[in-house]
Amino acid sequence: MSLLFSPLKIGSLELKNRIMMSPMGTVSAGDDGKAADWHLLHYGARALGQVGLIMLEVTAVAEAGRGKGSLGLWSDEQIPALRRLVDALHAQGSKVGIQLWHAGRKSDFADKTVSASGLPHRGAPSRELSSGEIEGIVRDFGEAAARAARAGVDAIELHAAHGYLLNDFLSIHTNRREDRYGGSVEGRYRMLQETIDAVRSRWPGALFVRVSADEYGETGNRIGDTIEYAKRMKLQGVDLIDASSGGIHPEPPPSIHPGYQVPYADAIRREAGLPTAAVGLITTGPQAEKILRAGSADLIAIGRPLLRSPFWAREAAEQLGEHLEEPAPYAGFWFDRERRA
């Protein structure tokens, strides 16, 4: 049996296969941040397609930290709509994660943009957070985690990548603070450390963190910095690192090619001793299988290929000589189509 379609356990999370739908913001929620029919159709199609773990898109922990059209978990009123979505995905056999997030200086609302050090983003100003405000946002993450638990999710991922607020504090490029939340590695890590603790106090299940393993540009975190952070996360009970890159600087990676971010997942897995998810231009079953066989990652995060084809998992299975059961209502039609092909 292929590794891609073998079961996997990460912490308390048990998956039927090693395919994760990568979190991709669809900006399709209303101003209330509630999951809508769009989300039910969008994610439901991927659950029908047999994705093992569907990681829901960026979900704001505070109304002031959202983007236009983003999901939210800053209010108890948002729980029922999310619960409806989670229950529907569970009914099709997928596990469900949610990516908790604060947009920071990348917020779409100019009067609400905050950051570690008051740096602008694309010319738009931001305001440096006070230590008291940081503590408030940390509490927001913990309370959002409690709401996610009430909605029935199976995993939580903290978005600490791509220049959003948690990454803004982690980055040597954007964190210019001189108080306890800046300066040293310990200082830059402190907000994420406190956030993990706040979430862990309300959430006993599987906990992932998405990182920008390399921030590119002239200054920024490199893989060695990220490995150091990952070692600290392991001690705090984080179960998996979702290894992405970039987002702090406007410059693109020096080279974009199939699997270009896989070496980051591999290095974190080997040096920090934590399971990892590999993401970035992974497009075929054999490519994903090779990554797993090499021991470079434990989970394969698929983004755009799943947008192009909700049944990407079935296509990957066919490439690997595996058989996936089709959804029961499709069974006869699917068999007829293949017999006549």
Identify the structural domains of the chain with CATH numbers, from first to last: 8-340 (3.20.20.70)
- Across the chain, mean pLDDT equals 95
Residue 325, judged by CB atoms within 10 A of its CB (0-12, 13-18, 19+), counts as: exposed
The backbone torsions φ and ψ at residue 338, rounded to the nearest 5 degrees and listed phi first, read -70, -35
Q: Give residue-wise pLDDT tens across range 152-172.
A: 999 999 999 999 999 999 999
State the residue for tokens 């100003």: 125
Asked if pLDDT for residue 337 goes beyond 70, the answer is: no
33 CB-side CA count, 13 A:
22
331 — pLDDT class (breaks 50, 70, 90): confident
| Average pLDDT for 12-35 | 96
Asked if pLDDT for residue 213 goes beyond 80, the answer is: yes
Q: Give residue-wise pLDDT tens across range 179-191.
A: 999 999 999 999 9
Distances (CA, A) of 102 to 99, 110, 113: 10, 14, 10
Q: What is the pLDDT of residue 334?
A: 59
Helix axes 223-235, 185-200, angle to 10 degrees: 40
Q: Which residue has better confidence, 43 or 248?
A: 43
Q: What is the pLDDT of residue 328?
A: 81
Which neighbouring-strand residues pair with 302? Answer: 21
Q: What is the pLDDT of residue 254?
A: 85
Q: Give residue-wise pLDDT tens across range 277-325.
A: 999 999 999 999 999 999 999 999 999 999 999 999 999 999 999 988 8
